[in-house]
């Protein structure tokens, strides 16, 4: 019997509500540690885990967890893209965990209706408390991330310009950016050109780096 299953049985015997949790993180060591540590909590049961955003969305549809704990940086679909897919099909709540806690990422998360946003440095016990709060209907944003978002310099770029710069950090060319964002290559070039002009950058890579340094993407 796993730790999570044993905890669920104990909680059921005492009449305590059990929070059913899905964990998604492409770093196997971290995902395993989260499963083990959170599974020891008396009122949390890990019902599924995944190593990418697409599988996380599929498992959420199958298992209907109370909470989805998603890493931000995952292959195929990042945590926020996975959250949007999950929240469009499943009645659940989503917490994003990340070591790249930036104002621009927080903005995307809130637009995707994410309920919690915490850094990966959060201790397991504190993370369990956040999971309970979010399961109870509350919203949790790490106070340091919230403060950074409030003090961030006003961004001159449009949402689409931010999208193309964010994707350009991992895509090798305009065609790949266009495919990721479901846009025409010419449209992507226009957005990149506008962003480069606004940021006084000589290349899309320089523009993306400036936007990253400002915390906009």
- Residue 128 CB: number of other CB atoms within 10 A? 20
pLDDT of residue 9: 57
pTM: 0.72
pLDDT of residue 99: 77
Domains of the chain: 19-149 (3.40.50.2300), 159-214 (1.10.10.10)
Instruction: Name the helix (H) or strand (E) containing 32.
Output: helix 28-39
pLDDT of residue 1: 53
Low-confidence ranges of the chain (pLDDT < 70): 1-16, 100-101, 149-153
Alpha helices in 64-139 (DSSP H): 79-87, 103-111, 124-135
């Amino acid at each position: 019997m796993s730790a999570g299953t044993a905890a669920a049985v104990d909680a059921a015997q005492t009449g305590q509500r059990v929070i059913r949790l899905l964990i998604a993180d492409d770093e196997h060591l971290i995902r395993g540690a989260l499963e083990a540590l959170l599974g020891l909590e008396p009122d949390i049961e890990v019902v599924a885990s995944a190593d990418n955003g697409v599988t996380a969305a599929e498992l959420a549809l199958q298992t209907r967890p109370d909470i989805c704990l998603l890493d931000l940086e995952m292959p195929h679909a990042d945590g926020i893209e996975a959250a949007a897919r999950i929240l469009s099909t499943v009645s659940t709540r989503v917490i994003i965990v990340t070591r790249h806690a930036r104002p621009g990422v927080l903005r995307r998360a809130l637009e995707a209706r994410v309920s919690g946003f915490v850094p990966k440095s959060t201790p397991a016990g504190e993370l369990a408390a956040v999971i309970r709060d979010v399961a109870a209907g509350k919203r949790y944003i790490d106070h340091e991330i919230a403060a950074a978002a409030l003090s961030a310099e006003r961004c001159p770029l449009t949402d689409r310009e931010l999208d193309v710069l964010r994707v350009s950090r991992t895509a090798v060319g305009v065609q790949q950016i266009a495919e990721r964002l479901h846009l025409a290559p010419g449209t992507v070039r226009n957005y990149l050109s506008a962003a480069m002009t606004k940021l006084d950058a000589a290349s899309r890579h320089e523009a993306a780096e400036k936007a990253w340094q400002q915390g906009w993407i």
